[in-house]
Amino acid sequence: MPEENIVRTKEVWKVYQMGKVEVEALKGISVEIKAGEYLSIMGPSGSGKTTFFNMVGGLDKPSSGKVYIDEVDVAQLDAYELAWLRCRKIGYIFQTFNIIPVMTALENVTLPMTFAGLTTDESRDKGVELLTKVGLGDRVTHKPFELSGGQQQRVAIARAMANDPAIILADEPTGNLDLRTGREIIELLREMNDDSGVTIISATHDMKMISVSDRVVWIRDGQVEKIERREDLDIAVGTIDGKEEA
Amino acid sequence: MSESEFVAYRAAKIGKQIVLPLSKAVEISLKGMSIRFWRSLLTVSLIVLAIAFLVYILATAAIVASLVRLDDPQINIILQRSGVEAQEIGAGGQGSLFAQISHKQYWLIVLSLMVCVVGITNAMLMSVTERFREIGTMKCLGALDSFIVKLFLLESSFQGIMGTAAGIVLGVILAILHTLVVYGSSSFRVFPGLTVLSIAGISLFIGTCLSVVGAILPAVRAARMEPVVAMRVEE
């Protein structure tokens, strides 16, 4: 695995103005994420996890400090470059799936390819290929409401992979799924990570996620509480899995 | 390479690499309309009513004007009875369309068109609020602000064209019925087809413009939406 940083944050602070009170959501977070890594960001709600996650994905800008994606300072990018970044570099997966309801599974997957300038034929072929890869080869023309939650999330994963991104950003990808479907989705993400070397960053409080993550960043009160590598986690995860199976 | 150089290099290199071809945009907005058929119908009905009123007034005036030009003594009596100005009648070829529209009617037309624009804006704003997650998702997939504006304006202009077409048909039918009842079958004899056709053309233009104007504010609001709204969980 290359030792190149795909995302790097330096002393990131985020301060929100709530009426007259200033709320510090992030208090100086510095994290380095390597290319090809499977990283989970864990933390209770209100810990600043989501805020930090949005920073890493270029969806929010820090009050102070720097976020580098592929060694480029996100704060310096204009709207056009940010769109380019979102289209080509980052694939997003949402807790609520966010499949565009008016489009079929295939059209959802081909939309980012259309933005990236691929022709209709090219994007259709690639879209079918991606949907087959996530196990929906026989459902390409289905509308979102004809698909189950797990299937919708598979479409979302195929869509996130559309332009061969360097990073997949998954916000609670299993939050709206049952235990088994959630596990399948996690396995699929791990597979994508192994096959194409795409960096996966997910914000979650799903303990199932830990067993596949290379590293887990724990956030509490806007600060990094601890960063654990998988080797250090294995034993703890075993018991959690055991409980779930029982 | 320093950081700023790298950014500049990247900006130059990417050029116009994020695109949304017009044909695709048309496809997406048509699909959006068909799936939200009833909401679209509500917006369209606003235009139908406003344009039907406009066309009804104009077409009736055109028919009356051609009856005035006809200068038939029997019809002149009916014209007089229904309040057409005496100096107009029997002037022989002087009857013009605009002479048949009162100031009050002008005001009513202007007001109804204004109400229509406000109604369209309101309906489109609701549609934007309903679709905030969809818009946020599109932006996460790399859509530029201009794509969102394009989609909304296209959708609105299709609605405008459909609504106006229906409004023209409705307005012309009403005008014919009105003149048939008041002036009898002679109004058919002098039906000013060409004038009514040009009224239809002008109305189509006005209706489409109104629809697009009404959608500008909602479209810009949608385009300014931050992509992060797609992440929100609450419905």
**What is the Cα A86 distance to its own chain's centre?**
12
Contact B230 A78 (CB under 8 A): no
**A142 to each of A40, A94, A105, B134, how far by Cα in Å?**
32, 20, 6, 18
Contact B133 A114 (CB under 8 A): no
Judge contact between B141 and A111, C-beta under 8 A: yes
Within-domain flag for B180: yes
d(CA A81, CA A132): 31
Element (H, E) at A137: none
What pLDDT does B139 receive? 92
Selected residues 157-196 of chain B with any CB under 8 Å from a CB in chain A: none
Within-domain flag for B12: no
When pLDDT is averaged across residues A207-235 and rounded to a whole number, the result is 85
Domain span at B124? 21-232
Q: In sequence order, what DSSP letters do the residues of B28-84 get, joined into one string?
A: HHHHHHHHTHHHHHHHHHHHHHHHHHHHHHHHHHHHHHHHHHHT-HHHHHHHHHTT-
Q: Give residue A246's pLDDT band: very low, low, confident or very high (50, 70, 90).
A: very low
| Contact with chain B for residue A1, Cβ under 8 A | no
pTM: 0.84
What pLDDT does B40 receive? 85
Residue A16 pLDDT exceeds 70 = yes
What pLDDT does A109 receive? 96
Yes or no: domain A34-61+78-244 corresponds to CATH 3.40.50.300? yes
User: Which residues, including other chains, have CB under 8 Å from residue B216's CB and lie 6 or more apart?
Assistant: B153
Judge contact between A199 and A39, C-beta under 8 A: yes
**What is the Cα B82 distance to its own chain's centre?**
32
User: What is the value of ipTM here, to two decimals?
Assistant: 0.86
Residue B231 pLDDT exceeds 80 = no
d(CA B35, CA A101): 9
Within-domain flag for B71: yes
Within-domain flag for B102: yes
When pLDDT is averaged across residues B2-18 and rounded to a whole number, the result is 58
| Contact with chain A for residue B14, Cβ under 8 A | yes
Higher-confidence residue: B54 or B101? B54
Higher-confidence residue: B166 or A59? B166
Q: How far is B148 from chain A (nearest CA, A)?
A: 12
When pLDDT is averaged across residues B222-233 and rounded to a whole number, the result is 83
What pLDDT does A112 receive? 95
**A195 to each of A15, A40, A132, A198, how far by Cα in Å?**
39, 19, 15, 8
Question: pLDDT tens digits, residue range A120-136?
Answer: 999 999 999 999 999 99
Nearest to A171 among B17, B31, B231 (CB): B231
Residues of B with CB below 8 A from A84's CB?
14, 17-18, 142
Residue entry with tokens 């806007």: A222
What pLDDT does B13 receive? 54
Question: Which burial class, exposed, middle or buried, applies to B162 when counting CB atoms under 10 A from its CB (0-12, 13-18, 19+)?
Answer: buried
Domain boundaries, chain A: 34-61+78-244
For residue A68, give the chain B residue with the closest CA.
B3
**B106 to each of A7, A37, B54, B111, how far by Cα in Å?**
64, 69, 9, 9
Residue A243 pLDDT exceeds 60 = no
What pLDDT does B11 receive? 56
Structural domain count of chain B = 1
Residue A38 pLDDT exceeds 90 = yes
